[in-house]
Amino acid sequence: MDLEFQKVQGSFATQVAQRVGEKDEQPARHKGVTSRLHEAVQGSDEQSMHRDRLLDQEIVRINKHYKPELENHEISINLMRQEMQQDQKSRHAQNGEISARKDLVEELTGQDKGKEKVSDPTP
């Protein structure tokens, strides 16, 4: 039984040593994984910041290039809008004048028709 007890004790001691070894390795593995994660995040942050700087530069370039053109288009649109409003007012005034003349023509035509119906007593 002593021999068997020694075998069990040896086996137990081996298992304990393995577990202790695993426990000793665990912090090192954890530290390695953490270190790689930090490097990946830092690299990702640097890439993001670089991409942001490039995008900012592109926005500035686009604004510099297209802003004057957009302002010119806006001025042109406003001028066209003003011309259209003036044309609309002019058409409205012309329509009123046409309507007044039409009424006058109808009135004069009605007077002419009235004269035709009235017999002239002079020989």
Question: d(Cα 12, Cα 10) in Å, to the nearest integer?
Answer: 5
Cα dihedral 18, 23, 28, 33 sign: positive
- pLDDT tens-place string over residues 26-59: 777 777 778 887 777 777 788 888 889 999 999 9
Instruction: Say if pTM beats, i.e. exceeds, 0.85.
Output: no
- pLDDT tens-place string over residues 68-114: 898 999 999 999 999 999 999 999 999 999 999 999 998 888 876 76
